[in-house]
């Protein structure tokens, strides 16, 4: 998977090649460093509110695809990016676009250029790409977005969802899982 991203960025013209990878908390911390090492560029942590040491720049709050008690805020360390940096922001998943937008706001606040937002998978039904394009009055409408997969590529039959679902809710109790799978011919 790392090679897919590295090959992509190595194909950029010299004046557009990234100079930094910004990894989103937390799976971007797993994806970003090997990409940055292969490209011989710096890696920067985009962390949840106040979790990094040093002087931080705090972004605005954002919501995710699931409800939480309060909005998340992301932070970058002051001085981690410069106006000369061309940044790829990377995460494992693009859902509602909240983390991506928070990262883009912080990268821009530090004066750097956003070369691309990248993720392994995009959940198209949550319209994260559309939300990124509309965010902050369309400020990020031209930022390239690269995903390896979309949930549509998986298809309805692949995850094994039953074609007809008559049970209440979408969660099956652990103790009933094998029985429900057999009843719906999923095994």
* Catalytically annotated residues: 27, 65
Question: How many degrees, rounded to 5, is the angle at CA 119 between CA 118 and CA 120?
Answer: 135
User: 16 vs 50, 53, 187, CA distance in Å?
Assistant: 31, 30, 49
CA distance 82 to 110: 6
CA distance 96 to 7: 27
Three-state secondary structure call for residue 79: coil
CA distance 97 to 119: 11
Q: 52: alpha, beta or left, given left = phi > 0 and alpha = psi -120 to 50?
A: beta
Is the separation of the CB atoms in 81 and 20 below 8 Å? yes
């Amino acid at each position: 998977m790392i090679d897919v991203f590295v090959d992509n960025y190595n194909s950029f013209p010299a004046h557009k090649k990234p100079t930094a990878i910004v990894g989103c908390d937390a799976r971007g911390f797993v994806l970003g460093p090997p990409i940055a090492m292969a490209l011989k560029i710096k890696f920067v942590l985009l962390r949840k509110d106040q979790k990094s040491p040093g002087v931080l720049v705090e972004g605005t709050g954002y919501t995710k695809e699931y409800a939480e008690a309060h909005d998340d805020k992301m932070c970058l360390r002051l001085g981690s990016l410069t106006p000369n940096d061309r940044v790829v922001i990377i995460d494992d998943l693009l859902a509602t676009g909240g983390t991506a937008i928070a990262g883009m706001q912080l990268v821009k606040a530090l004066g750097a250029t956003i070369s691309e937002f990248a993720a392994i998978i995009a959940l198209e039904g949550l319209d994260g790409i559309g939300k990124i394009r509309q965010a902050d009055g369309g400020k990020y409408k031209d930022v390239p977005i690269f995903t390896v997969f979309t949930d549509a590529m998986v298809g309805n039959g692949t995850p094994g969802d039953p074609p007809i679902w008559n049970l209440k809710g979408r969660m099956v109790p652990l103790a009933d899982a094998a029985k429900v799978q057999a009843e719906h011919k999923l095994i």
